[in-house]
Amino acid sequence: MIDLLRRHRLVAILRAGDTSRFTEVASVLYASGVRLLEATLTTPGAAASITAIRGALPEDALVGAGSVRLPSDVDTAVDAGAGFLVTPTVSPAVLERARERGVPVLAGAFTPTEIDQAWHLGAAAVKVFPVREAGGPAFVKAVRAPLPDVPLVPTGGVELSDVDAYLGAGAVAVAAASPLLGDALTGGSLDALSTRATRFVTAATG
């Protein structure tokens, strides 16, 4: 997981009121260069969409489940074919169940204490969330000083114009939802999505 984060440096977050366009949008994202995609379990039908997206995309795409909060969520996601899990918080029970199921976790954390705790509990990387409210790139840089071994993935309000600053501050990758997806999941232009995604991929990979 960490190797893929270092290589692609961008995770696309799919979250909406329903999953009707998840597979179509995922295909556009893949065609634009995105290889790491997260479907959030807060969207009804997300587990089935993970299975569908995995079936629609080539094998080099890694499809994960987001908003994983309970050990039962781990089982639901892994049984659907999720290749990684993303949590909004530090949950020892979720991390333990994920370890039992053999799937990596991007654990959500806000404070330096939570970030360090998530890392020591076995997270593959730590999702700094919500990073904009935490202080943006300056916060990531400050946290990296005492915790240089912890791979950080800033999430929450990451705009295209922020990508270079976050990576320059030492983040291993960034994750983006609305700034990347826009209104594509609710009927918006897929051509516009392709343009945004290409720009994000270019910013992330240089």
The single residue of 59, 96, 114, 127 carrying the catalytic annotation is 127
User: What is the reported pTM?
Assistant: 0.97
206: pLDDT strictly greater than 90:
no
pLDDT band at 84 (very low <50, low <70, confident <90, very high): very high
The single residue of 38, 114, 133, 141 carrying the catalytic annotation is 38
What's the CA gap between 159 and 102, in Å, rounded? 32
Rounded to the nearest angstrom, the gap between the alpha carbon of residue 102 and the centroid of all alpha carbons in its chain is: 18
pLDDT attached to residue 5 = 97
Radius of gyration of the chain (CA): 16
> What is the number of other CB atoms lying within 10 angstroms of the CB of residue 195?
13
126: pLDDT strictly greater than 90:
yes
Region 67-87 average pLDDT: 98
Region 3-27 average pLDDT: 97
The domain locations on the chain are 2-205
How many residues in the chain?
A: 206
Region 175-202 average pLDDT: 98
63: pLDDT strictly greater than 90:
yes
- 2-205: which CATH number, 3.40.50.300, 3.30.310.50, 3.20.20.70, 3.30.420.40? 3.20.20.70
pLDDT band at 125 (very low <50, low <70, confident <90, very high): very high
pLDDT attached to residue 50 = 98
Q: Catalytic site residue 100?
A: no
What's the CA gap between 43 and 58, in Å, rounded? 23
Q: Catalytic site residue 159?
A: no
